[in-house]
Structure 1
Amino acid sequence: MDPLAPFFERFGLSARMFYSGKQCGISPDLNEPTGYLHVLRKGTLTVFRPDAQPLVLSTPSILFFSRPQQHRVHGPEDEGADLVCATVRFGVGMLNPLTASLPEPFVVPLDTLPELAPALELLFSEANSQSSGRQVALDHLFEYVLVLLMRSALNDRLLSSGVLLGLADECLRKAIEAMHKHPEAPWSLEQLAQRAGMSRARFAARFRKIVGITPFDYLTDWRLGVAQAMLRKGSSLKLIAAAVGYANATALTRVFSKRVGKSPSDWLSERN
């Protein structure tokens, strides 16, 4: 099983390039619920955020805000920065365990990601051209770069905790993939521990240490994230409840409202 496939299948992924060039200041528009992906190929970039120390990037890097966050990127006027930027929709505003586990922002120097070099060469080549279909090509290239970034985070264990680190663990991966594949199943701690080939106590302790939350908190978030994705596709609460392991729509609504802070219908109406 492809460990990343469930996230992209459930939450979708789309990107839209909105800037390329040598700039001295960009403030992204936060009116839309999107994340932001910035790729710095050369130069120095300072990232300003409210209530945070300025973040200075002096080496080529990827800067990914997986959730909407006010920020401004600035490069010296006499030098500028060779930069491309895109908005990203990847389960923003939804219980996506993958993006929820990323630091905000997620910063990775490009020299630690040699596998991205061919894609980034294409990205900047397209950004510096005026060829027909440029926008579409750039959007898809940004999507590809983000997939490669998530793959590298998984394979190279770039994070200190979260579901990607759990999926990199040979034992925990089996239990997490089982939850992903069958959110409707009435999982018990013993059943999940058996999938991992561990005792219940050892499994629960290892899961919390590596993923950062308990197995059942993770399962609840996954179920509700799947429910949100199904809501956006127009599925009924009755159908969704059965698909994510709740006895009926009332039970789903109760858990959803407690975790999200609003009912499924109210949550959906804010996104239409």
Structure 2
Amino acid sequence: MDPLLPLLNQISLSAKVFFTGDLCQVVNFDGSDMVGHIHLLRAGQLDLMFRGKPLARIDQPSVVFFPKPTIHVLTPVPDEPCELVCAMIDLGAKVRSPLATALPEFVIVPLSDMQQISPTLQLLFHEAFEQALGRQAALDRLAEYFLIQILRHVIQHGQLQQSIFAALAEPRLALAVKAMHENPSHPWTLETLADVSGMSRARFAANFKATVGTTPLDYLTDWRLSIAQNMIRQGKPLKSIAAQVGYQSSAAFSRVFAKRLGTTPTEWQ
């Protein structure tokens, strides 16, 4: 099974291109909009600051990828062109998505290192710098596809250390993770998950924590709550949501939700 599929299905992945052209002034991103960003440098140079400190000078065509809301600044280099395509992205950072949690804070990749996606880039740049009918819709769909390709690149190049992807790459841990993903309403315990994985309780718990960076039951709770948040967004009733993510009552679900997220399901909505 494709390990990325359930994580993508669990969120409403989206990308919206909001700038195309020659960057001619400093642009600040303060993270308050609660979205991630992709910046595609087609030509020229720019200076990148990250959380108030210089990070890099990008001097060749590159993608700069911030998966989560992040404070950063783009500054064009004087007397240099800076042809840029920028998109806002949503990978589920608002809903405690394991995918968003697993990704690094930022990724910078020269486009020359991503030759396999050059057809997508050619289409994206063509739409970005032309004024064809349906341009915005085409740009957004291409940016979403490009986002998936960036995720592939990050995963395939081992830029995720402690993460659920590492667990999915380990056959026995993968059995337990897939069980949680496919049946979040089941009353899983450490013992039953260890049985699914074919390991002792102690060994399973230790291996999972070392690989993912959290305990199996904490991961299960986060997975359930991220599913629940998407259902809340869709307007489903709390009683139905609670049952579908493994809680016997809406009150029990609300207690866990509030303890974990610091707000009630109704207030979060």
Q: Provide TM-score, normalisation by structure 1.
A: 0.89
Alignment partner, residue 16 of structure 2: 16
Instruction: Evaluate the alpha carbon distance shift between residue 214 and residue 107 of structure 1 in structure 2; reply closer, same or farther with a 3 A threshold.
Output: farther
Q: Is the 8 A contact 1:11 1:91 kept in 2?
A: yes
How many matched pairs?
A: 268
Q: Show the counterpart of 1:37.
A: 38
Percent identity between the two aligned chains: 44
Aligned residue in 2 for 1:253 = 254
Q: Please provide the CA RMSD for this pair.
A: 2.1
* Partner Cα distance (2:133, 2:30) in 1: 26
SS for the counterpart of 1:231 is helix
Q: Which runs of 5+ in 1 are unaligned?
A: none
In structure 1, C-alpha distance between the alignment counterparts of 2:99 and 2:85, rounded to whole Å: 24
Match of 1:140 in 2: 141
Give distance in 2, aligned partners of 1:112 and 1:169: 27
Give the C-alpha shift of residue 61 in structure 1.
Answer: 3.0
- Unaligned stretches of 5+ residues in structure 2: none
Q: What are the superposed Cα offsets for residues 100-143 of structure 1, whole Å, 9 maximum, x if unpaired?
A: 12222233343443332221222112212211111111100110
Which position in structure 1 is the counterpart of 2:159?
158
Change (3 A) 1:109 1:194: farther
Q: Which amino acid aligns with 1:63?
A: V
Partner of 2:101: 100
Matching residue of 1:54: 55
Residues 236 and 13 (structure 1), Cα distance of their counterparts in 2 relative to 1, 3 Å cut: same
1:27 aligns to what SS in structure 2? strand
Q: 1:200 to 1:45 in 2, by over 3 A?
A: farther
Aligned to 1:63: 64
Mapping for residues 90-239 of structure 1, pairs under 5 Å: 90-239=91-240
- Structure 1 residues 213 and 61 mapped into 2: Cα distance closer, same or farther (>3 Å)? farther
> The residue matched to 1:257 in structure 2 has which SS?
helix
Q: Output one character per residue of 1:154-195: Cα deviation in whole Å (capped at 9) or x when no partner.
A: 334222221222223333222212111111111122322233
Between the aligned partners of 1:12 and 1:98, the Cα distance in structure 2 is 12
State how far apart, in whole Å, the 1-side matches of 2:58 and 2:217 are.
Answer: 38
**Counterpart-to-counterpart distance in 1, 2:262 and 2:205:** 27
Deviation at 1:73, TM superposition (A): 0.9
Go from structure 1 to structure 2 and tell me whether the alpha carbon gap of 1:196 and 1:57 turns closer, same or farther (over 3 Å shift).
Answer: farther
